[in-house]
């Protein structure tokens, strides 16, 4: 079974991800709106105490959606997320034990790294994507370009500060996955669906040209 490889490939194929910190009911509302707009990935952050309930609810109602457990800082949280339906593990930092657990369960692990040393260490430990976060605090596209120059093989997940205006800049820089907070998590369902559809159209147009 090549679960990890298949999931990691789907993540790159889908590219777009909504980052959610909300109640289970609101999380499902956002996930449905995103899905109807063409966005098939959602990060459910463990900064919210009801994250496991949200994962279970979205998994039950939208089994086609890739669910990423976010802000996973330790192996206990990672295992709980996986056992309750998470398809991938995201974190703002690299943890060797979390990497080991994710590899054991054949789940993609996407740790946040800030130096090339951290990035290569994470890749050696089996990370599927290197998370560049927060993109809003730095020039995200510039940072990605700088980091991938000596490591052009590095798979990139970009999170924070991405919007309609700079979306293509992140893609040009090499972002295999792009994560959106406000655009794909704030507002009513109709607005979220509209934003998801616009980003999906922009991604399709970009890929048609490249």
Report in angstroms the alpha-carbon separations of 132 from 66, 74, 116: 20, 19, 11
Parallel, antiparallel, or unpaired for β 66-70 and 156-159? unpaired
Those residues with Cβ within 8 angstroms of residue 17's Cβ, 6 or more apart along the chain or in another chain? 11, 39, 41, 42, 43, 68, 159, 177, 178, 179, 180, 184
φ and ψ at residue 188, rounded to 5 degrees: -80, 175
pLDDT of 19 reads 97
Residue 69 φ/ψ region, left for φ over 0, alpha for ψ in the -120 to 50 degree band, beta for the rest = beta
- Using the predicted structure, report yes or no on whether residue 125 has a pLDDT greater than 60: yes
Span 172-184, average pLDDT: 95
Q: What is the pLDDT of residues 86-106, one digit of tens each?
A: 999 999 999 999 999 999 999
**Domains in the chain: boundaries:** 3-209
Q: How confident is the model at residue 114 (pLDDT cuts 50, 70, 90)?
A: confident
- Using the predicted structure, report yes or no on whether residue 137 has a pLDDT greater than 60: no
- Using the predicted structure, report yes or no on whether residue 61 has a pLDDT greater than 80: yes
Q: Which of 54, 46, 49 is nearest to 84 (CA)?
A: 54
Task: Enter the tokens of residue 48.
Answer: 């919210």
Those residues with Cβ within 8 angstroms of residue 102's Cβ, 6 or more apart along the chain or in another chain? 78, 82, 89, 108, 109, 126
* Cα separation, 198 vs 91, whole angstroms: 27
Q: What is the pLDDT of residues 4-32, one digit of tens each?
A: 999 999 999 999 999 999 999 999 999 99
Class of domain 3-209: alpha beta
């Amino acid at each position: 079974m090549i679960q990890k490889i298949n999931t990691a490939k789907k993540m790159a194929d889908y590219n777009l991800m909504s980052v959610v910190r909300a109640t289970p009911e609101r999380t499902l509302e956002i996930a449905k709106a995103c899905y109807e707009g063409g966005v098939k990935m959602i990060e459910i952050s463990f900064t919210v105490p009801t994250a496991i309930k949200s994962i279970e609810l979205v998994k039950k109602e939208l089994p086609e959606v890739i669910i990423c457990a976010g802000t996973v800082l330790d192996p206990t949280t990672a295992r709980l997320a996986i056992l309750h339906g998470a398809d991938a593990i995201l974190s703002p930092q690299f943890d060797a034990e979390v990497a080991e657990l994710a590899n054991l369960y054949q789940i993609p692990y996407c740790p946040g790294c800030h130096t090339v040393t951290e990035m290569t260490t994470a890749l050696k430990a089996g990370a599927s994507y290197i998370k560049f976060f927060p993109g809003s605090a730095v020039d995200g596209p510039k940072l990605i370009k700088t980091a991938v120059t000596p490591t052009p093989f590095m798979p990139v997940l970009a999170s924070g500060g991405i919007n309609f205006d700079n979306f293509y800049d992140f893609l040009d820089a090499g972002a295999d996955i792009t994560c959106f907070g406000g655009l794909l998590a704030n507002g009513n369902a109709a607005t979220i669906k509209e934003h998801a559809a616009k980003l999906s159209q922009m991604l399709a147009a970009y890929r048609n040209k490249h």
